[in-house]
Amino acid sequence: MQQVQRLSGIRALPYDFAPFIRKLDAVGDTVAGHRHLVQLLQVVVFDAITRHKMALYLPELIVRSLEPATDPTEMALRAAGFSQALTREIISDAYRRDLVVANIRGASAKTVGLFEAHDVLQMPGVRERFADCGLLPD
């Protein structure tokens, strides 16, 4: 409303957002324990500054969510009697960083495409973060 008022020079009529917010909050009430999640999503969807900040964290969130969990492998190898040094070498060979990044890029391609389609990667610095994390095609 403020943007329209500023650009048009026409004074905005008073508007009570409370009924609209209650309507949105009610979505969280339909599933027990999710009201706060819905409120968080409202902030991400409607507050441009927060949306940009969140977009900058998305690449790392994607990578950390899809990275292989090597701790169980390490524990299994150590339990089998392999030394710490040999265990690290085996894990390094089995989970080569270039292959891990390629697998993450493949697994996240549709999600990254969705962000691209909705101009998330057009926000300042976001495309660079996605590229730095290896999430964009070469």
Which amino acid, 51? R
Q: What is the pLDDT of residue 109?
A: 96
pLDDT at 11 over 90: no
Predicted TM-score (pTM) of the model is 0.67
Q: What is the pLDDT of residue 95?
A: 94
How many C-alpha atoms does 79 have within 13 Å on its Cβ side?
A: 6
Q: What is the pLDDT of residue 43?
A: 65
Q: What is the pLDDT of residue 12?
A: 76
Give the CA distances from residue 79 to residues 16, 42, 88, in Å, rounded to whole numbers and listed in that order: 63, 47, 14
Q: What is the pLDDT of residue 53?
A: 85
Q: What is the pLDDT of residue 62?
A: 92
Helices (H), 1-138: 2-8, 18-29, 35-46, 48-66, 71-79, 84-94, 97-107, 109-117, 126-132
